[in-house]
A and B are shown apart, each in its own frame.
Chain A
Amino acid sequence: SQTIHQWPATLVQPVGSPLSLECTVEGTSNPNLYWYRQAAGRGLQLLFYSVGIGQISSEVPQNLSASRPQDRQFILSSKKLLLSDSGFYLCAWNLEAPTEAFFGQGTRLTVV
């Protein structure tokens, strides 16, 4: 069966520090991968998605970047965190439409 792993579960980082969140998927090949962010009390905002290794599409301009170095690995990064980067970050995967997407359990990032 397919599983998605996302870590760490919680993270507290100072302003200006770098960020690296990792997501891996097991049990499938060539998945579509996604990063979402959820600010406190808000809905989910799609940040990045990838349909293959090295292929990244950005949905909104921001202080973050994404990379896909391997087929089932998706990384969210920042060189210098801002206070506004705080939020709940979710990784997800799916196969071609109309299959549903499966979400990880999220990372709660607090920038202080």
Chain B
Amino acid sequence: DAKTTQPPSMDCAEGRAANLPCNHSTISGNEYVYWYRQIHSQGPQYIIHGLKNNETNEMASLIITEDRKSSTLILPHATLRDTAVYYCIVRLNTGNQFYFGTGTSLTVIP
């Protein structure tokens, strides 16, 4: 079962930073936070994951609060191709399954 809560939709102006929030208030100490995105009619694409510390890669940054009960995915300079549904997932570091919630539909506006 999904253990995360995300807003159903968001808009972002092209070129601006997109900040996508996720609540995971019941997260336990050994659960990771993962972010995926899905462009219409394609398979989900991995973006980033983290445990405690903030993480950054070529696609995005992940900011995890100190109490780990929420996180924010940041797309620093959103483009039209970033329009997609973004999923936040928590997963045990000893478990294998990924349980997806309903995600946030991000629309980047020209």
Which of A's residues lie within 8 Å of B, judged by CB?
Answer: 32, 34, 36, 42-46, 49, 51, 59, 88, 90, 92, 94, 96-98, 100-106, 108
Contact = CB atoms under 8 A, between A and B. Distances in A.
B110 interface: no
B68 interface: no
Given A34-B98, A97-B32, A101-B98, A44 B93 contact: no
A44 B101 CA distance: 7
Main secondary structure of the interface of B (DSSP, over half): loop
B94 to A, nearest CB: 6
B102 A43 contact: yes
B96 A49 contact: yes
Contacts of A59: 97
Contacts, number: 60
A46 B51 CA distance: 23
Given A43-B100, A97-B94, A106 B42 contact: yes
Bin the interface of chain B by size: 20 to 34
B96 A94 contact: yes
Nearest to A105: B43
Given A43-B103, A46-B97, A88-B41, A98 B49 contact: yes
